[in-house]
Amino acid sequence: MIKNQWYAILESKEVKKKPVGVTRLNEKLVLWRGADGKLNCIYDLCCHRGASLAIGCIKDNQIECPFHGFLYDGSGQVTLIPANGKADKVPSRYKVHSYIVKEKAGLIWLWYSDSNDGDIPEIPFFEELLEGFIYKTFAEVWPVHYTRAAENQMDVVHLPFVHTSTIGKGNKTIINGPVVKWQDNRMTFYVDNVFDDGQTKALKADQIENYESLFKLDFQMPNTWQNYIDEKVRVFAVFAPIDEENTKIYLRFYQKFLPVPIIGGMITSISNIFNRVILHQDRRVVLTQVPKKTELAMGENLIPGDLPIIEFRKRRKLLKETAN
Ligand code: FES
Ligand SMILES: [Fe+2]
């Protein structure tokens, strides 16, 4: 995992009144909302004798270990050891790691870093999705590293093979481009898939004029993606790393051509069913990929059409190196 990044890890609605225990980024986490409404996230392993705090109770803004009642605040500090008495001051060594979490766009984002100090950047979201869109989410766990799940959505070569019956109709096997552009840590890639008449060679990225008029997708490092279907319709995804071998995918259909609650919500739900079909066409193949995790140098024989994947691997390497 790359340090010093905001990762989308859960949907906000997954943390309600009770504590929630999840594994994300290889770490056991417990999240809860205090009586003050603040969202908290600390390491889910009691520093006393290793019980999970996630099955404990919320007491005002704090969480109580279910085993011997140690009380933790949002910074991970134990504030009360009941067996020692309320009058006893708790030494600072009774503490677990805490994580900075924020909410945006109905998602919980975790600042993944060795340090909670220093300047923390804004959460990098596709801001236009906050303006007038409604959405529905479909979520499921894939037994792959998040790099495989994410790269699948940067793979513009697979469409006529994996999605023959859906978005890959027309046997458009030639890949013109893709053209890849970066802005900060956001990659936008433009592509034109065309039918192979036997006479045509794929155009390289630098042979394409007016690339901005082509079909485009965005990938925001480290783990969010947007399929820009048109001004009013998008598919958005989060690839939330669970551990080295599992990823929770949150797939959202966004629309604002009918942004009204009941009928708009129904259309959004139906569209999401279609997206689930497409995602399951992907899943059938991606789950067979070996190894489960990707790296820049890993012995795969990539082709020009894989440029977004190559760029993603390069950027991961760069961000990892600069974070260390
Ligand atoms: S294990 Fe948590 S208080 Fe003992
Ligand atoms: Fe796909």
Q: Could you read off the pLDDT of 93-114 as tens digits, one per residue?
A: 999 999 999 999 999 999 999 9
Centroid of ligand 1 to alpha carbon of 48 (angstroms): 5
Q: Could you read off the pLDDT of 33-50 as tens digits, one per residue?
A: 999 999 999 999 999 999
Residue the block writes with tokens 């919500």: 265
The CATH homologous superfamily for domain 129-323 is: Naphthalene 1,2-dioxygenase Alpha Subunit; Chain A, domain 1 (3.90.380.10)
The answer on pLDDT for 118 being more than 90 is no
pLDDT above 90 coverage of the chain, percent: 93
What pLDDT, on a 0 to 100 scale, did the predictor assign at position 302? 96
Integer Cα distance of 238 and 287 in angstroms: 18
Greatest CA separation for the chain: 85
Amino acid at 183: Q
Integer Cα distance of 91 and 76 in angstroms: 13
Q: Could you read off the pLDDT of 140-161 as tens digits, one per residue?
A: 999 999 999 999 999 999 999 9
Q: Which of 221, 218, 250 is nearest to 128 (CA)?
A: 218
Q: Is the CB of 83 under 6 A from ligand 1?
A: no
- Yes or no: say if 25 and 9 are a contact pair by the CB < 8 Å rule: yes
312 pLDDT tier (thresholds 50, 70, 90): very high
**Residue 270, H or E segment:** helix 262-286
pLDDT above 70 coverage of the chain, percent: 100
Q: Is the CB of 51 under 6 A from ligand 1?
A: yes
As a whole number, mean pLDDT of residues 227-253 equals 97
Best mutation site among 42, 52, 55, 67 for ligand 1 pocket (most ligand atoms within 8 Å of CB): 67
67 pLDDT tier (thresholds 50, 70, 90): very high
Amino acid at 205: A
What pLDDT, on a 0 to 100 scale, did the predictor assign at position 8? 98
As a whole number, mean pLDDT of residues 248-271 equals 91
DSSP class per residue in 27-87: EEEEEEE-TT--EEEEESS-TTT---GGGSEEETTEEE-TTT--EE-TTSBEEE-GGG-TT
The answer on pLDDT for 3 being more than 90 is yes
167 φ, ψ (degrees, to nearest 5): -80, 0
As a whole number, mean pLDDT of residues 259-280 equals 90
First-residue to last-residue Cα distance in the chain: 12
As a whole number, mean pLDDT of residues 223-241 equals 96
Integer Cα distance of 71 and 42 in angstroms: 12
The answer on pLDDT for 324 being more than 80 is no
Q: Where are the domains of the chain?
A: 5-112, 129-323
313 pLDDT tier (thresholds 50, 70, 90): very high
Domain 5-112 fold is Rieske Iron-sulfur Protein (2.102.10)
Neighbours of 100 (CB within 10 A): 13
Positive or negative: CA dihedral 42, 140, 301, 191? negative
Best mutation site among 30, 44, 70, 90 for ligand 1 pocket (most ligand atoms within 8 Å of CB): 70
Integer Cα distance of 66 and 53 in angstroms: 7
- Arithmetic mean of pLDDT over the chain: 96
The answer on pLDDT for 190 being more than 80 is yes
Positive or negative: CA dihedral 131, 153, 218, 322? positive
Centroid of ligand 1 to alpha carbon of 240 (angstroms): 29
Neighbours of 85 (CB within 10 A): 8
